[in-house]
Amino acid sequence: MRYSDKVNDHFNNPRNVGSMDREDPSVGTGIVGAPACGDVMQLQLKINDQGIIEDAKFKTFGCGSAIASSSLITTMVKGRHFKDAESLRNVDIASELELPPHKIHCSVLAEDAIKEAIKNYKEKIAANNR
């Protein structure tokens, strides 16, 4: 199987690898995937008071497509409002990376990671407003 140049680029030079303080109330953390199946992705979004995603970091354990998908989404969401980022769909990621059909699940994982991270952020905000 041959990966697209974009997958190879993000796999060989992943953007925004790392993690942030998960206790920070402005950081939403999403962890998705299953160690037993092979792919686990952690996506963290730092969101400012205006709702803009200031920073995004990921750590992914998985194949090249999973790493490329998570690297790509960090670049796609930075600078966007979290409500806008929430509307990203896996097809946006899959088409950008030209993922083959049997690797589409990697883009689904990335979409799930965005949703989980934003959900976690919203929960923190709600808890702080109580």
Partner 1 sequence: MITICKNLLNKKTTPAEHIAKAQDALILAEASLRRGELPPGDYIISYHGKKKNADNWGMTYPESLGKLYGKNSIYISRMDGQKVFESAKGNKSKHVSIMTEFPTLKDHYTYGNTL
> Looking at the annotation, which residues are catalytic?
37, 106
Identify which of residues 24 and 84 has a Cβ nearer to partner 1 in the complex: 24
- In the bound state with partner 1, the residue whose beta carbon lies nearer, of 6 and 59, is 59
Closest listed residue to residue 77, CA positions, set 3, 127, 15: 15
> Are 114 and 77 in contact, with CB atoms under 8 Å apart?
yes
Contacts with partner 1 by CB under 8 A lie at 19, 31-36, 38, 40, 42, 59, 61
Query: For residue 88, which of 24, 22, 43, 21 has the smallest C-alpha distance?
Result: 43
CB of 14 to partner 1, least distance (A): 13
Q: Give CA–CA dist 61/42, Å, rounded.
A: 9
By C-beta, is 31 or 108 nearer to partner 1? 31
Q: How far is the CB of 29 from partner 1 (least distance, A)?
A: 9
